[in-house]
Structure 1
Amino acid sequence: MKTPTRQIRADHDRDTITVYQAYGPEIGGPAAEHGTFVPPFSRNRMTWIKPSFLWLMARSNWARERGQESVLAVRISRAGWEQALGLAVPTHPDRRVFRGSAEWRERFADAVVHVQWDPERSLRGRKLEARSIQIGLSRHIVDRYVDHWILGIEDRTPLVRRLHRLVHDGQVGKAKALLPPERPYPLSAALAHRLGADTPGR
């Protein structure tokens, strides 16, 4: 059987899933303290959530990029996550999802949630064949995320710094043992089609 490349892999249990975000300390600190996002976090812009820890490490350069120095593990309800997936529209006219560009343009114009599949990353930041999902929550839906879906927020920045030191020092085995667990997330056939995700035999 072909190994799926577009598959959601995440830290999840029966009721929750963990997604990751990176912000400056002025947003990350209060968010971890309050267990959800508070000002100066803006509800008037799109916010992207990612279940892949290593993808965010590559994106934030191990929390060293300006404005991404605080790495947050955001635990949200699976009900909220799947509500977002059920509203998501890919950011390009994926032939797995749409009959053509016209259909995509019509759907995307009204989308309140965006979805992208980007190359997954290794511990050293190398692009992999597998894809990692990103979900963009527009200002029209971010209130639901902040006020209803989020169940808790943890500051993972100390772990990020420890992992980066281990990788820098060539201790990849020790670093791998400390990575947050991620395993395939089950999707219904309808959600898989909507997202352009792989399904068995596809």
Structure 2
Amino acid sequence: MHEPNHRIRALHTDSTVTVYQAYTPAIGVPAARDGRFPAAWKRDRMTWIKPSFLWMMYRCGWGTKEGQETVLAVEITREGFEWALRHAALSHYERGVHPDRDTWRRELRRAPTRVQWDPERDLRLAALPYRSLQLGLSGEAARRYADEWTVAVTDVTPLAHEVHALVRDGDPEAASRLLPEERPYPAADELLAHLRP
């Protein structure tokens, strides 16, 4: 089956979307325990969320990289996720999407969210020929994410370690069965038209 180059794939319900982040235990453990980000979580910094579990594993080294030892699944409202997409700008200039570089720079400065499309990953964390969404949240978007959109926060570090162990042991079928069920997200064209290269 042909996989479109730029499509959002995510674990989602009728009302929520699950995204992934990795933090130090000082941030991740209380966030999972309390179901919300602690005061130490900086609401004034850019934070990147990823709907792809395996892309997060690539980024955090299965929860082994320093400062990324606690992997979180953050369930957010679809309403919030779609607000972020609607208010996003591409993180890089793309001919055909932007009339010129100056217009793109202005859009990027104004946008509270930005989108990056990175190669999706397989179980061995090798790049696949299609891309996965990363969503950067800053300013108003980061505050809304932490204080309004977050529905639940789960520590999925044990899952990351279990999947990794099965991959290392040469059992990709068992590893695949443990992966979150990421399906195409039903984003209307108007949500992504300004974000697809």
Structures share fold, TM-score greater than 0.5: yes
Give TM-score scaled by structure 2 length: 0.96
Q: 1:32-43 residue pairs with structure 2 within 5 A?
A: 32-43=32-43
Q: 1:103-114 residue pairs with structure 2 within 5 A?
A: 103-114=103-114
Deviation at 1:36, TM superposition (A): 1.0
Aligned equivalent of 1:141: 141
* Contact residue 85 and residue 192 of structure 2 kept, 8 A: no
Q: 1:51-66 residue pairs with structure 2 within 5 A?
A: 51-66=51-66
Deviation at 1:2, TM superposition (A): 5.5
Secondary structure of the corresponding residue to residue 141 of structure 1: helix
Q: What stretches of structure 2 of length at least 5 have no aligned partner?
A: none
Aligned equivalent of 2:120: 120
Amino acid at match of 2:52: S
Q: How many residues align?
A: 197
* Contact residue 63 and residue 70 of structure 2 kept, 8 A: yes
Amino acid at match of 1:171: D
RMSD: 1.3
Aligned equivalent of 2:160: 160
Secondary structure of the corresponding residue to residue 73 of structure 2: strand
Per-residue CA deviations over 1:46-99 (Å, capped at 9, x if unaligned) read 110000000000110100000000000000000000000011000111234212
- Alpha-carbon distance in 1 for matches of 2:180, 2:2: 26
Mean Cα deviation higher: 17-26 or 188-197:
188-197
Secondary structure of the corresponding residue to residue 194 of structure 1: coil
* Contact residue 3 and residue 130 of structure 2 kept, 8 A: no
Q: Does 1:71 align with 2:71?
A: yes
Aligned equivalent of 1:80: 80
Q: 1:20-31 residue pairs with structure 2 within 5 A?
A: 20-31=20-31
Displaced runs of 4 or more, over 4 A: none
Amino acid at match of 2:90: P
Per-residue CA deviations over 1:140-167 (Å, capped at 9, x if unaligned) read 3211111110000000001111111111
Closer, same or farther: CA 3–164 of 1 in aligned 2, 3 Å: closer
